[in-house]
Structure 1
Amino acid sequence: MLPTHILLKAFQSNKFRGKQEQEHFHRTFTGRYQNLIKRNSFIYLGIPMIGSVVLGSLLLSNFTAIRYEQRDTKVKELDETEQLRIVNGKKRKVDLKEEFYRLQGMVEENEDWEPVRVPRMKGEGENVW
């Protein structure tokens, strides 16, 4: 971590000011604030920065809460037919092959398709790795 006097020098615009201009600058808000930062940078620069981050996260948490609440209501809503199906407990039997092909979209195209090993020609050996 760099010392604050190096950081302050890195971000200054090093303008040349005459003696009167410098005195006038020190009477402005910016000049007084700059002097306060030079004396105690954590109190006048660090705490306001940390405070703004914390305040921002608190304010934005309301928006994210609304977003997730809306998603929850979408998931929880059921049609009457879905409710009746759940209540009646009618379940279909699950076949792993059928589910695999249904998820790939292959059921409608190739209902009778099943993976079959190709027969070997005469004299061809088994490829054992």
Structure 2
Amino acid sequence: MSFGSKKFRSKREQLAYDASLAGKYYKRLKGNPFLYFGLPFLGMMVISSYWLAGFTAIKYERDDRHVQEMNEEELTKLIKNRRKFDIKDEFYRLQGLAEEDWEPKRVERLDDESENVW
């Protein structure tokens, strides 16, 4: 047997609770739960979605500023200033190896070590 979740109150405490705002709300909530719980909850969701719509609009407006149309002069300037593309240079640049002047060198083996040549 488990104890109930309802809190025990003496008669005087129960009368004071029923006269309080929380007691009146709980009594009405038990009578019509949608009107006193569901409707305020849904109203809060609708109002907050309209309120947050302003923040999302700011985000999309900021993103739209980055994407703009280019006129022909800007496009030709962009094409003229383009650097030559070489796949080997890009490979070494992406790996950070372009800054260093080095060549791959085979590690010397010990006298009794195999060359592992297949």
Q: What's the TM-score, normalizing by structure 2?
A: 0.60
Q: Deviations over 1:6-28 (max 9, x none)?
A: xxx85x6x25142x543343344
- Mapping 1:9-20, distance limit 5 Å: 14=7, 16-18=9-11, 20=12
Distance 1:86 1:50 in 2: 51
Instruction: Name which structure has the greater RCO, CA cutoff 8 Å, separation 6+.
Output: 1
Q: Deviations over 1:12-48 (max 9, x none)?
A: 6x25142x54334334432221112112223311221
Distance 2:39 2:55 in 1: 25
Distance 1:58 1:104 in 2: 48
Distance 1:44 1:22 in 2: 21
- Which runs of 5 or more structure 2 residues have no equivalent in the other structure? none
1:42 maps to 34
How many correspondences in the alignment?
A: 107
- Which runs of 5 or more structure 1 residues have no equivalent in the other structure? 1-8, 78-82
- Alignment RMSD: 3.5
- Structure 1 residue 71, shift from structure 2 partner: 3.9
Tell me: CA distance 1:48–1:65, structure 2 relative to 1, closer, same or farther (3 Å): same
Q: Does 1:55 align with 2:47?
A: yes
Distance 2:115 2:14 in 1: 96
